[in-house]
Structure 1
Amino acid sequence: MSDLTGRNQSPMDEPVTHHGPPGGGAGRILLAAAIVLLLVAVAGGTTWWMYTRDPAPTTNTAPTARPSAPDACPGVKLRVAAAPEIAPAVQAAAKTLDDDEADPCDPIKVVAEEPGVTAAGAAKPDVWIPSSSVWLGIANAGGAAFTAQDKPMAYSPIMLAGPGTVTDSLSQGGRTSWAQLTGAVATGKVVAVTMPDARTSTVGLLSVYGVNAAMARTTPDSGIAQLRALTLRSRLKEAAADPSKVLARVAKQWNTNSVVYDVGLFPLVEQQLKTYQRGKHTVPLKGAYPADGLVQADYPFAVAKNNQDTELTAKLRAAITRSSLIQAGFRPLPTPNALPLPPQPAALLAPATMWSEYKSLATQVLLLIDASGSMNQKIQAPGGRTVTRAALLRESGRFAADLFAEDTTVGMWYFGQPTPTSPAHREVVPFGPITEQLDGTKTRRDALIKAMDTYRAADNSGTPLYQSVLDGVAQMREKVAPGTVTLVVVLTDGEDGESTFKMTQAQFMTKLAAEQDPSRPVPIIAVGYGPDVDMKALNDMSTATGGKAFPATNPADLSSAIAKAFLAAHAPR
């Protein structure tokens, strides 16, 4: 088969140097000042002084810590920060410019670190070689002043890597997809996936963008695409792993099975996989390119505005030769068919923030689904379809069921009153662990999916919203336990009314307040669907319990609102 350069070489074999033609490479993107928010998030607890950090190692491994002081080498003329995978090549080039080997202080000091750390650091280097040009815009938005010289020095596409048995199951001809990975994780075919922090690591930031781009290809509904992307996020074994440390962990393993369960599949740049494969470790790794969201790292040579030694800077740039970078495993030209990075900051920032802020928690959830008659009203859905609100809820709910992590305990009620003697709600899926088998073959997750697939609203059915919420909160309060988050999630398109359980909002709020117990909180996450929904009532009930409410006034907003509700349920508290 042909690899991405068009040559007859499997990308999953021992790697070879790529000389592929240009095409589809991402350009340098300068993000606007809004991304300062990202810097604030990254900076919390991670502001390291540039001149006390460790110099780059001479091999492509994680840096080894050693004590240093800001003035330990006052004669240093040029301070350089480089992404960990390219730092060894930069360090080797810097060594060629050291005329006095007896002097323990080199004229050029190279520090290896992830770009997010450099961008957030208080002190900035004279020269910066991050693993994506986007970081220059992020740093400059925060007050830095870096300018890239010419085109990026090198490129390296992001791959999914893991033990051969796992990688082979998801790939063909060295290609795979984020969609395949998401489906495999949701069904348990892949038992572990590890990812880097999207706010600090280029691999993490661009992988999240690739995942969301891939999910957007599967549906015209942006909300459903978000839900599908979060399905992968919710199943990660580790969401802030250091790629170099992951490779170091794998290199120490003697048993492939331990890697399958400890690390599983993980993204990394092609150069990192090549370097690992050349090491001939006991546990071999294979890689595949996610064709539905192919993204690439690029390595600009950026110079700070206050750089005083332009002559030494020019010498360093010349010393980092094309051949040395190719030998180190990098590509000299852009990756064909790589996704261009978006010009708008939000397109990168929003999915990365959503991804990073998600918090995996042992969660107890009661889903309250509106099954009243108004759900049978027809509306215009995404793509120009005419469907009922119930049909759109079925479509969105099906994907929401996949989002719950393995440690979730869940139950589902439908609320609606088709006759005056009908109860306010009925149990559709009994409360219990989502992985529990209910009939010997199907799990509770399967039951949730089936319940959403078969969900129907009864014509002329009233909406006992308030009574159902009171009953749900009361029942879940008895289940509150240490170390878990206990929630009631309500999806409704209308307001309380047309039932024998009808009450005013004032009556409802009085009853809800009387049942609050600060020692046993049960937040309400509410999604109000439709132009006639009473969002004030939903906001009031959610706020009173420490939860959140989200409007979905447009049919296309429903899935997005469900995604936001799910995020709110898993946000740090």
Structure 2
Amino acid sequence: MALATALVLAVAGGTAVAVQRGLLSFSRSCASTAVRVELVASPDVAPAVEAVAERARKEKITSDGSCMDVRVTARDSYKVAASFTSRSRPDFAVWIPDASMWVDRAKDAAGSATVVTAGHVADSPVALGVAPSAAKTLGWPQKTYTWAELGMATAADDKVRLGSADPAHSAAGLLALSCIGKSAGQGAEGSTRTAALAKVLSQRVTDGDGQVMENLATVNSPKQGGSSHRSGAVVVSEQAAFTYNAGHRGTDEGVRLFYPKDGAPQLDYPYTMVREAGMSTDESRAAMRFLTLLGDSVSTQVLAGHGFRAPGGRVADARPSAAGGSAPQPYASASADPPSAQELQDALGMWTITVQSARLTTVVDASGSMATTVPGSGGRSRMEVTKASLLQALAQFTAEDEIGLWDFATHLDGSRDYRRLVPTARLGDPAAGGRTQRDKLSAAFAALQPVPDGATGLFDTTLAAYRDATSTYASGKFNAVVLLTDGANEDPGSISRADLVAQLEKLTDPSKPVPLIAIAVGPQADRDEVQQIAKATGGVGYQVTDPADIQAVILQAIMALGQAQHHG
């Protein structure tokens, strides 16, 4: 009896081990020779890859005579990419992220010799998924848009409200943001439009791709509830829309897809060997055999059943239709050229800085020369055009941003050349009379007036504003002083330029950066002077002939300086 019991336990134990190892579908001889390959895949493609791995086990598909035991684990691509370092030892041999950008990031961290792309498993274009009611508003499917037009149309309509997964965590989100920037055009105007859209988008982002479709406010969604955090349009891959619609078949809540007419970037699912040098010959050959298996006709149909396109191939109408696409949307046209690594880095830097809350002290020249008429402005003065540009810039900041206002000339406040008109505070903070800091600041901008016969007390004002900004530094925000002047220093009783530069350098703390963004307005302003002053703080100096350009220059400066801080 003891012997029988031992045999029963041994068989039961062996069965448990076999189940745990996934070997029950192998024959006895196949199980003993199976080559195990650990594979990590993006969560969207992992179920399809697992289905192919299970087929390899059931059909006893071999590599060099040995069966393949491919173990598939789903992990977010951005988390896997972040795990790579020069000393990291991955616990997997093959990685299928959703986009090659993550492989590039891993190569930068771990060294290109240890991360090698051997092929691609699937494609899925990035498009804009829209709730049915919002799609009708935007003219789907007949109306087509560029990326920039889609972004602006969804950002401008509060009923649509654009959302996305965080571009820092989502290839789809970052690829779309890069395409929007490229579509918006080069130069300050294009950058301004893109950054303004990023500000709007930042209010409705999810942490990752897995949550973005849950944030879609469809017409009958019980979750909608009028929440401003839900979106009527979201950046999404075709495959994610396919999966979403499969779960809402028979309802009117399926997503509709807009494919940008200037081309959709692709999620390209690279099959990546991450530690080939440490693999045995059998493991390496089995990994490559599995890549071949993923590309055969049976596996291609498995991937298609999960909503994926074949790598680099044209697509039948059925798949985009199931994903929410419909003619004349250009779903079968050539995809967009993939953004370069630098373009993606620029887009990520812009996103990181633009959505980061800012703390700005705005200092505006109110000397008499600001009453000078601006040519071609319909008779408006420099001050009037400057105020209009500042109000446009203010509209691009969120309730979390902190902004204050000073003005200056000479002897505005007793012996002081400057006045603190509005203390720096959150734009969303309440103010007297049922207003907010934004309302108060808007009114103060609108009330700015040149001081008759007032001279330009530039140096004392700059030092006072910078000293105040550094002493009230807000951690976790982009801190800066924005100085606007249309002339050189005209206060004979002020400190010298050399003294100002020396004191600014003493106040500057690299661990608490507060760059000075100095803008020389008009042809009489001294560009060299503002550049020298700004440089002492790690900031930048600009000259604008037309005060209407102030808005774009401020945003351009914030992006440039913020990216420099981010990379530093």
TM-score (norm 1): 0.64
One of 285, 288, 292 as aligned partner of 1:308: 285
Are 2:52 and 1:83 aligned?
Answer: no
Mapped partners of 2:410, 2:463: distance in 1? 16
Counterparts in 2 of 1:371-450, with a 5 A limit? 397=390, 399-416=392-409, 424-425=417-418, 434=427
Tell me how far 1:229 sits from its aligned partner. 1.9
Secondary structure of 1:403 counterpart: coil
Report the identity percentage: 20
Query: Who is 1:233 aligned against?
Result: 198
Mapped partners of 1:501, 1:470: distance in 2? 14
Contact 1:487 1:525 in 2 (8 A): no
Tell me how far 1:405 sits from its aligned partner. 0.8
Residue identity opposite 1:115 in structure 2: S
Query: Who is 2:518 aligned against?
Result: 527
Secondary structure of 1:157 counterpart: strand
Are 2:486 and 1:491 aligned?
Answer: no
Are 2:69 and 1:107 aligned?
Answer: yes
Structure 1: state its 5+ residue gaps.
1-54, 56-72, 381-386, 543-547
Mapped partners of 2:540, 2:430: distance in 1? 33
Residue identity opposite 1:79 in structure 2: E
Mapped partners of 1:419, 1:88: distance in 2? 70
Counterparts in 2 of 1:72-471, with a 5 A limit? 76-99=35-58, 107-120=69-82, 121=84, 122=88, 123=90, 126-141=93-108, 142-143=111-112, 144-149=114-119, 152-161=120-129, 163-170=131-138, 172-173=140-141, 175=144, 179=148, 183=152, 189=158, 193-216=162-185, 222-235=187-200, 236-237=202-203, 239=205, 241-247=207-213, 255-258=222-225, 260-264=227-231, 265-280=233-248, 284-289=253-258, 291=260, 294-300=263-269, 302=271, 304=273, 307-309=284-286, 310-318=288-296, 321-332=299-310, 333=313, 335=331, 336=333, 338-342=335-339, 344-358=340-354, 360-361=356-357, 364-370=359-365, 397=390, 399-416=392-409, 424-425=417-418, 434=427, 462-471=455-464
Are 2:502 and 1:537 aligned?
Answer: no
Which sits farther off after the overlay, 313-322 or 402-411?
313-322
Residue identity opposite 1:196 in structure 2: A
Mapped partners of 1:172, 1:249: distance in 2? 20
Say which structure is richer in helix. Answer: 2
Mapped partners of 2:293, 2:132: distance in 1? 42
Residue identity opposite 2:293 in structure 1: K
Which sits farther off after the overlay, 172-181 or 429-438?
429-438
Are 2:532 and 1:564 aligned?
Answer: no
Contact 1:552 1:561 in 2 (8 A): no
Q: CA RMSD in A?
A: 5.3
Mapped partners of 1:452, 1:114: distance in 2? 46
Secondary structure of 2:255 counterpart: strand
Contact 2:217 2:224 in 1 (8 A): no
Tell me how far 1:97 sits from its aligned partner. 0.8
Tell me how far 1:93 sits from its aligned partner. 1.5
Tell me how far 1:453 sits from its aligned partner. 9.4
How many residues in Structure 1 have an aligned counterpart in Structure 2?
A: 476
Tell me how far 1:418 sits from its aligned partner. 11
Query: Who is 2:323 aligned against?
Result: none
Contact 2:169 2:207 in 1 (8 A): no
Tell me how far 1:256 sits from its aligned partner. 3.9
Contact 1:463 1:499 in 2 (8 A): yes
Rg larger in 1 or in 2? 2
Secondary structure of 2:295 counterpart: helix
Query: Who is 1:4 aligned against?
Result: none
Mapped partners of 1:188, 1:128: distance in 2? 40
Tell me how far 1:203 sits from its aligned partner. 0.7
Secondary structure of 2:539 counterpart: strand
Contact 1:369 1:492 in 2 (8 A): yes
Tell me how far 1:458 sits from its aligned partner. 8.6
Tell me how far 1:325 sits from its aligned partner. 2.9
Tell me how far 1:242 sits from its aligned partner. 1.2
Mapped partners of 2:98, 2:43: distance in 1? 9
Mapped partners of 2:179, 2:446: distance in 1? 29
Tell me how far 1:107 sits from its aligned partner. 0.5
Q: Structure 1 residues 84, 373: closer, same or farther in 2, change over 3 A?
A: farther
Q: Structure 1 residues 427, 254: closer, same or farther in 2, change over 3 A?
A: same
Secondary structure of 1:489 counterpart: strand
Secondary structure of 2:495 counterpart: coil
Tell me how far 1:532 sits from its aligned partner. 2.0
Counterparts in 2 of 1:492-511, with a 5 A limit? 492=484, 497-499=489-491, 502-505=494-497, 508=500
Tell me how far 1:108 sits from its aligned partner. 1.0
Contact 1:215 1:225 in 2 (8 A): yes
Mapped partners of 1:501, 1:162: distance in 2? 62
Mapped partners of 1:162, 1:536: distance in 2? 50
Tell me how far 1:269 sits from its aligned partner. 0.3
Contact 1:528 1:538 in 2 (8 A): no
Residue identity opposite 2:194 in structure 1: A
Tell me how far 1:368 sits from its aligned partner. 1.1
Mapped partners of 1:83, 1:468: distance in 2? 55
Tell me how far 1:295 sits from its aligned partner. 2.7
Mapped partners of 1:124, 1:455: distance in 2? 63
Q: Structure 1 residues 524, 90: closer, same or farther in 2, change over 3 A?
A: closer
Residue identity opposite 1:215 in structure 2: A
Secondary structure of 2:224 counterpart: helix
Contact 1:164 1:285 in 2 (8 A): yes
Mapped partners of 1:169, 1:447: distance in 2? 35
> CA offsets per residue over residues 347-392 of structure 1, 9 Å max, x none?
221111331355533x553311345588899999xxxxxx999899
Query: Who is 1:49 aligned against?
Result: none
Q: Structure 1 residues 357, 400: closer, same or farther in 2, change over 3 A?
A: same
Tell me how far 1:211 sits from its aligned partner. 2.3
Which sits farther off after the overlay, 387-396 or 163-172?
387-396
